[in-house]
Copies of this chain bind each other. A is one copy, B any other.
Amino acid sequence: MRRHNRTVLIRRLHIGGPCTRASLAAELGLNRSTIKALVDGLAEAGVVEERVPRQRSGAGRPSLLVLPQAHAAVVLAVDVRVEQVAIALVGLGGEILGRNSWNLRVRTREPAEVITHVVDSAIVLAADLGVRMVAAGISVPGVVRRSDGLVHEAPNLHWTDVPLGERLGAVFDVPIRVGNDAELGALAEHLRGTARGSSDAVYVTADVGVGGGVISDGSALRGTAGYLGELGHMVINPGGRSCYCGSRGCWETEVGERSLCRALGLREGAPRGAVVAELRALADHPDLVRSRLGEFTEWLTIGLVNVVNVLGPELVVLGDLFTALPGSLIADVAAAVRDRSLVSRASGGTRIVASTLGADVTLLGAAELAFEPVLDSV
């Protein structure tokens, strides 16, 4: 029981941040003496620190503020993307203590190269920061088997059946977890972003590929054997372009980065910076957005109608490249989805918003994946 309460308390501080003893007691439904005993134990173990809060409320002795200590548990988070790898060491409470990233070119996208580079960078970063990591979480843009971290297929990286979890586990003697990028984006949004407090939310991410992560009734959907959420491979335009997945006219082929480049008159594979700059230039011109991105807007709408009708979220968070879309386009899409989705109308209107966690969303999700198995042994 005490062990259980201790884990609940650590999880609360890790996700919710600093909190007074009094508020912790109220939130967790524990009495003050139980909280005191737990916090004293955690302080002694160096997991939390206590401080007199700066702003005192009311008269009497102020309730002490309990702060999680980042160095009490540090995990490695890795975000493998098609064109870049980022790693970070993330402390208890979610603070990024240090980070490193490098671009991938076709040659350096080989799994063995990527793994070696991740290992070397992580060792150097941990030594620089003087920390020891207790777990690692890795995000990959592909279909991943959660049980052992096998990357079954990461098409845009050209990876097939890469035993990523096993390889990293052989080097680092800590729990290693591998997840799909969109799934981890959803986890980060649910724990630390716009979808916090929302029990039914979908996170849709666009890079070269398009993917989705689903929170249903407060938990991540997994699918059989952990395979789920290839939202980018819903067929929405059966007469459209061939997709590597075996279908034609997938959502990804209509609204992924390459399609957006075409719509903007850029060459496919233009640098991300150029795409974003072009979108920014349009931001203040809703009419131009409608004329140049009208078709793109329609495909984004159709895919989101499907997502809302099938999964029934109250909130859809658009991430990564989609966060650069003009606000007027997102507003148009949100209005059209409300008009054209039975489920949105029934549930009072699904909210559709851009992510506010920025470029770190997947990295933060990978960190939370890593924290999951270790929070109860901090």
Separation of A313 and B223 alpha carbons in the complex (Å):
6
Separation of A247 and B303 alpha carbons in the complex (Å):
12
Smallest beta-carbon distance A140→chain B, Å: 13
Assess whether B199 is in contact with A342, with CB atoms less than 8 Å apart.
Answer: no
Assess whether B153 is in contact with A346, with CB atoms less than 8 Å apart.
Answer: yes
A270 an interface residue at 8 Å Cβ cutoff?
no
A124 an interface residue at 8 Å Cβ cutoff?
no
A306 an interface residue at 8 Å Cβ cutoff?
yes
Closest B residue, CB atoms, query A150: B346
Which residues of A in the span 191-249 have a Cβ within 8 Å of any Cβ on B? Answer: 199-200, 212, 216-217, 221-225, 227-231, 233-239, 245-247
Within 8 Å by CB of A238, from B152, B234, B237, B245, lies B237
Assess whether A223 is in contact with B343, with CB atoms less than 8 Å apart.
Answer: yes
Residues of B within 8 A of A339 (CB): 246
Assess whether A311 is in contact with B343, with CB atoms less than 8 Å apart.
Answer: no
Assess whether A230 is in contact with B309, with CB atoms less than 8 Å apart.
Answer: yes
A302 an interface residue at 8 Å Cβ cutoff?
yes
A310 an interface residue at 8 Å Cβ cutoff?
yes
A256 an interface residue at 8 Å Cβ cutoff?
no
Residues of B within 8 A of A82 (CB): none
Assess whether B343 is in contact with A235, with CB atoms less than 8 Å apart.
Answer: no
Assess whether B310 is in contact with A343, with CB atoms less than 8 Å apart.
Answer: no
A368 an interface residue at 8 Å Cβ cutoff?
no
A35 an interface residue at 8 Å Cβ cutoff?
no
A103 an interface residue at 8 Å Cβ cutoff?
no
Assess whether A310 is in contact with B231, with CB atoms less than 8 Å apart.
Answer: yes
Smallest beta-carbon distance A18→chain B, Å: 31
Assess whether B199 is in contact with A224, with CB atoms less than 8 Å apart.
Answer: yes
Residues of B within 8 A of A302 (CB): 235, 238, 247
A31 an interface residue at 8 Å Cβ cutoff?
no
Separation of A145 and B348 alpha carbons in the complex (Å):
12
Assess whether B309 is in contact with A234, with CB atoms less than 8 Å apart.
Answer: yes
Residues of B within 8 A of A212 (CB): 310
Residues of B within 8 A of A305 (CB): 233-235, 247
Q: Residues 274-307 of chain A: 1 if any B CB is under 8 Å from the residue's CB, otherwise 0?
A: 0000000000000000000000001000100111
A340 an interface residue at 8 Å Cβ cutoff?
yes
Assess whether A153 is in contact with B342, with CB atoms less than 8 Å apart.
Answer: yes
7 A-B Cβ contacts within 8 A?
A: A216-B223, A225-B314, A228-B310, A230-B312, A231-B310, A233-B343, A236-B238
